[in-house]
Structure 1
Amino acid sequence: MSGYGFAIAASLGIVVFLVVLLRSRRVREKYAFIWIAVGIAVAILAAFPELMLGLTSLVGIQTPSNLLFSASLIVLLFVCIQLSVEVSGLEEETRTLAEEVALLRLDVERAAAAAGNPQPGPDASGPGSDASNR
């Protein structure tokens, strides 16, 4: 199998794998579509290598492999930036949820104390706490 045939088979295999992951809901659409587009682009460039030569001369790079590696690094850089944005948002959401849970717990404890039925806090050694299980 030639290098071009291997590239076509590998990229189409990755596209099929991504479609399976997408159908089983193991990956979200916004991520899968980007990778499917990259896989299809690689398959097209492998099927028609003269397109890569044309792109190389258009951009002004000496060899097609340098263009391929440069494009790959740029795509991976954008993926890292996008994932960093997602992680930052999730960290903010986790912090907000933790604060809301703490406020709700305080409200429940105050309401129980006002009703004359004090609830043990998480540090108290009540029947459900870790201190009674030791």
Structure 2
Amino acid sequence: MTPTSYILGIAAAIVTLIVVVELLRRRRLRERHAVWWLLAATLALIVGIFPDVLVWATAVAGVVLPTNLVFFVSIAILVLVCIQHSAELTDLEAETRVLAERAALLELRVTELERSRSQPAVGETAEG
């Protein structure tokens, strides 16, 4: 790889770290969502600064090309993010269903109360 590609990789990792930390600081991103992005950016920064680590990891993993290992790890991190979001989506759907059921029951109760108040009670006249 050329020095330009290493510099570009380091810059991208630093920018990613800065963006994730800034989103965390502004409370636009929750900590549990930021973990995977911080992990990916940190790994990219380590590999950008010490490219021999990638060559070593490729040999340890038994992968032929370092690029294949990078793609595999990247895809694995994205799959973990998707699984995490799917689990949270399932929880949110269950909460939404419960809230919709409660709102419907409350609306029914309000309608019944309004209907019972508009009808005169036994022994009363319509005049009051």
**Could you tell me the TM-score, scaled by structure 2's length?**
0.84
Structure 1 residue 111: Cα displacement: 2.0
Q: 1:109 aligns with which of 95, 108, 111?
A: 111
Q: Which residue of 2 aligns with 1:55?
A: 57
What value does the CA root-mean-square deviation take over the aligned residues?
Answer: 1.4
Give the partner amino acid of 2:71. F
Which protein has greater RCO, CA pairs closer than 8 Å, 6+ apart?
A: 2
The structure whose Rg is larger is: 2
Runs of 4+ in 1 over 6 A off after TM superposition: none
Q: Which residue of 2 aligns with 1:34?
A: 36
Structure 1 residue 29: Cα displacement: 1.3
User: Could you list the runs of 5+ residues in structure 2 that have no partner in the other structure?
Assistant: 120-128
Tell me the distance in 2 between the aligned counterparts of 1:74 and 1:33. Answer: 14
Higher share of residues assigned helix: 2
Tell me the distance in 2 between the aligned counterparts of 1:35 and 1:71. Answer: 12
Tell me the distance in 2 between the aligned counterparts of 1:91 and 1:10. Answer: 35
Q: 1:43 aligns with which of 38, 42, 45?
A: 45
Structure 1 residue 115: Cα displacement: 2.7
Query: Deviations along 1:49-70, whole A, 9 cap, x unmatched?
Result: 1111111111101110011111
Name the % identity: 38
1:1-134 equivalence runs, <5 A:
2-116=4-118
Q: Which residue of 1 aligns with 2:122?
A: none
User: Could you list the runs of 5+ residues in structure 1 that have no partner in the other structure?
Assistant: 118-134
Tell me the distance in 2 between the aligned counterparts of 1:36 and 1:96. Answer: 34
Tell me how many residue pairs correspond in the alignment. 117
Tell me the distance in 2 between the aligned counterparts of 1:75 and 1:44. Answer: 16
Structure 1 residue 114: Cα displacement: 2.5
Tell me the distance in 2 between the aligned counterparts of 1:80 and 1:40. Answer: 20
Q: Secondary structure at the match of 2:118?
A: coil
Query: Deviations along 1:30-65, whole A, 9 cap, x unmatched?
Result: 112321121111101111011111111111011100
